[in-house]
Structure 1
Amino acid sequence: MRYVLIFVLGVLLSSCQSQTEDRQSSLDLLDELILEMERQGEVMSMAMDTLAHIYEMRINNRDSLLSHSDPNRYVFDGPFSINQRMEDTIFSSLIILTTTPDLKKAQEEVVMTNFLDEEFRKFYSKNKLVTQIYSNSSNQVSRVFPSYDAKNIVDPTIDVTQFNFFYEADRIHNPSKGLVWIPDAYIDPAGKGWILSLVHPIYEKDSLFAVLGVDFTVDDIINAYLEKYDGQYLLVNRKGDIVAGKSGAIEAISMPPLKNHVYRETVRSVNFRVSDFNLFNSKSEEVRTMAKDFLMNNKDEFFFKKENSLIKAYCRPFQSIDWFLIEIVPKY
């Protein structure tokens, strides 16, 4: 009997040790993946900060810019520039939105900021995950690189200052005047689908002149990071919205049916709603409990008891942005 007890105790201790090792291994992998993404974010932030400094320095020398810039570089058809668009173009797409309060001043701004084309081209060529780089001004001038079919995509009557990629950088939301990560995915007015943005305000003396921004598509984040690992991963924000995720993980936690069974295709759809893909809106009570434990109670492990297809989940927070990386462990 004594030997049986010793054997059972040994098995239990071995099992506990194995579970502890599995837990730590999973958390370490999450930390590794987060660190990889945050390092890329730091590189991007430094590059953006440098470009913002160049932008501010140049526009605060307005007279010099106007005297050295080609006033005929861009040709317009109504609100839209119509310069030829090619893959290797050195041109941006420009829109002087009809919401501009001063058309003459906006036209002058186009000439004054032509130097951005070369700066945008250099930045874009060095940062492979960036899908587009742009400047949106307080005077409703939008410059986007690479160029795209703006005339058939963008409503020229929009007010860019009402979009989060602009107002999140203004003085009220960003009094420090530094870089801002926009943690919530949103639909891009330029037709790129669901994207995330890093923005930086540009001040002319003490007035907000424009907001400089770069975009990353949700699709690219999935391809560049989450698809490299075998596990089922979700990237979520503090509110529980799924910023990015592998299809297997989405399906496992009782989210709505996926378009063509692929999350990347779903987020490209104009019918995609972030609220549908929120952990707190899952049909599963346990998934909702998991979300509360991870996002509100700062726990890093959750065991499923009622879900027949799921075993457990792990979670780690980001340091630089209010996101969380979750691994869903299904039963195979």
Structure 2
Amino acid sequence: MKLVKFVAIALFLVSLSACQQEADENLEQKLARLKGLIENLESEGQQMAEELDGIAHFYEKLVDKKDSILKNPGPFKYTMNEAFSTNLPGQDSTLSSIIILNTTKDRKKAEQEVLLTNSLDSAFAVFFKRNPMAVQIYSNSALQVSRVYPAYDTKNIVDPDIDVTQFNFYYEADQKRNPSRGLVWIPDAYVDPAGKGWILSLIHPVYDRDSLFAVLGVDFTVLDVINQYLDAVKGSFLLVNSKGDIVAGKGDAIEALSMPPLKNHVYRETIQEDNFRISDFNLFHSKSAEVRNMAQSFLLEKKNLFDFKDEPGLKSATCLSFQKIDWYLIELFPNY
């Protein structure tokens, strides 16, 4: 009898060990899928970062040589109507849109800055062609001069009385927040004042000796992240920042987490609305205690697996963090 019990216990332990090994392998496969998605996103981001860094160095050389360049700057190739250049989208693909905001402290110096930086247009055009995820590349200066490529309908979109230095795509690159003076990812999505919807940005400061002269930036949209990366892979994925805000995600994943009702029942439509508040779509604000526990487990305790116990439609979730930016990719697994 004792021998039978011993054999039964041994078989149970072997079976338990096999199940645990299978579960571990399954988790490894799930994390490998997340890792592949993250690597694809970061690879494209790294390419944009390296090219933007190159343009920043070119820009700083222009600033260093500003005195000699402005002695013989060539023609002012833009026609201005108050704050805005008059060229329209599609008219001339070699031109950016120029905005000299009413908040500039010196209109004459701002116009000289346009002359100084005209060669950025060709650099912007090459960058835009090489980076299909980019929706726009731009410079915003301390003198309130904006150069944005490709050209867009500035007059009907931009408020000429804004102070561009008060936006995060400018001040996040300043000396206080970015003392290394290098590239900065803005991890929080924001509404683009140029009308591109919800935007994610990579920025780079340009200095004139010890003064911040301008900030270069490149934008890509939340919708493009969903369309190109998350929709391309089967599964329910969420991209969140370190605060728990949902940066991007598939509609089914968001609905499963007890988030607010979606406009038009589609997340990609919701994020096109001007009144969309990203803070409403935060894991820590979910009506579900288990979803809030999941956020705690992933974002604060840095765990990779969470098992749901009382959430009827969800079985488990896995999570991995990005290397270059403070984001997390989460995959949800339904309970069926």
1:218 positional shift: 0.5
Give the letter for the 1:125 counterpart.
Answer: K
Partner of 2:123: 119
2:141 counterpart of 1:131: no
CA RMSD of aligned residues (A): 1.5
Partner of 1:93: 97
Give the letter for the 1:127 counterpart.
Answer: N
SS in 2 for 1:47: helix
| Matched-pair contact (CA < 8 Å) for 1:187–1:195 | yes
Partner of 2:47: 43
2:15 counterpart of 1:14: no
Partner of 1:62: 66
SS in 2 for 1:84: coil
1:222 positional shift: 1.1
Please give the alpha-carbon distance, in whole angstroms, between the structure 1 residues aligned to 2:314 and 2:89: 49
1:10 positional shift: 4.5
Partner of 1:216: 220
2:286 counterpart of 1:277: no
SS in 2 for 1:225: helix
Give the letter for the 1:243 counterpart.
Answer: V
2:75 counterpart of 1:71: yes
User: Structure 2 length normalisation: TM-score?
Assistant: 0.95
Please give the alpha-carbon distance, in whole angstroms, between the structure 1 residues aligned to 2:189 and 2:132: 19
Write the deviation string for residues 43-92 of structure 1: whole angstroms up to 9, x where unpaired: 11111111100011012111333345443311111111111320762111
2:333 counterpart of 1:329: yes
Give the letter for the 1:265 counterpart.
Answer: E
| Matched-pair contact (CA < 8 Å) for 1:201–1:212 | yes
Taking a change above 3 Å as real, the CA distance of residues 263 and 68 of structure 1, as seen in their structure-2 partners, is farther
2:265 counterpart of 1:265: no
2:76 counterpart of 1:80: no
Deviates more, 1:300-309 or 1:87-96: 87-96
| Matched-pair contact (CA < 8 Å) for 1:66–1:111 | yes
Deviates more, 1:7-16 or 1:278-287: 7-16
2:305 counterpart of 1:320: no
Please give the alpha-carbon distance, in whole angstroms, between the structure 1 residues aligned to 2:102 and 2:184: 27
2:295 counterpart of 1:307: no
| Matched-pair contact (CA < 8 Å) for 1:59–1:65 | no
SS in 2 for 1:228: coil
1:220 positional shift: 0.7
Deviates more, 1:55-64 or 1:194-203: 55-64
Please give the alpha-carbon distance, in whole angstroms, between the structure 2 residues aligned to 1:173 and 1:279: 27
1:16 positional shift: 2.1
1:248 positional shift: 1.2
1:239 positional shift: 0.5
| Matched-pair contact (CA < 8 Å) for 1:138–1:208 | yes
Partner of 1:233: 237
SS in 2 for 1:30: helix
| Matched-pair contact (CA < 8 Å) for 1:136–1:212 | yes
Please give the alpha-carbon distance, in whole angstroms, between the structure 2 residues aligned to 1:60 and 1:269: 42
Partner of 1:287: 291
Please give the alpha-carbon distance, in whole angstroms, between the structure 2 residues aligned to 1:178 and 1:124: 21
Aligned pairs, how many?
332
Give the letter for the 1:261 counterpart.
Answer: H
Please give the alpha-carbon distance, in whole angstroms, between the structure 1 residues aligned to 2:75 and 2:140: 20
Give the letter for the 2:38 counterpart.
Answer: I
Deviates more, 1:80-89 or 1:232-241: 80-89
User: How is 1:166-185 mapped onto 2 (pairs within 5 angstroms)?
Assistant: 166-185=170-189
Please give the alpha-carbon distance, in whole angstroms, between the structure 2 residues aligned to 1:88 and 1:309: 53
Give the letter for the 1:234 counterpart.
Answer: L
Write the deviation string for residues 283-305 of structure 1: whole angstroms up to 9, x where unpaired: 11000010011101111110101
SS in 2 for 1:213: strand
| Matched-pair contact (CA < 8 Å) for 1:313–1:327 | yes
| Matched-pair contact (CA < 8 Å) for 2:192–2:199 | yes
Taking a change above 3 Å as real, the CA distance of residues 291 and 87 of structure 1, as seen in their structure-2 partners, is farther
Please give the alpha-carbon distance, in whole angstroms, between the structure 2 residues aligned to 1:84 and 1:312: 51
User: How is 1:26-37 mapped onto 2 (pairs within 5 angstroms)?
Assistant: 26-37=30-41
User: Structure 1 length normalisation: TM-score?
Assistant: 0.96
Partner of 1:53: 57
2:201 counterpart of 1:206: no
Give the letter for the 2:335 counterpart.
Answer: K
| Matched-pair contact (CA < 8 Å) for 1:85–1:91 | no
2:163 counterpart of 1:150: no
Please give the alpha-carbon distance, in whole angstroms, between the structure 1 residues aligned to 2:49 and 2:237: 25
Write the deviation string for residues 216-254 of structure 1: whole angstroms up to 9, x where unpaired: 100111112111111111111110011111111111111
| Matched-pair contact (CA < 8 Å) for 1:236–1:242 | yes
Identity %: 57
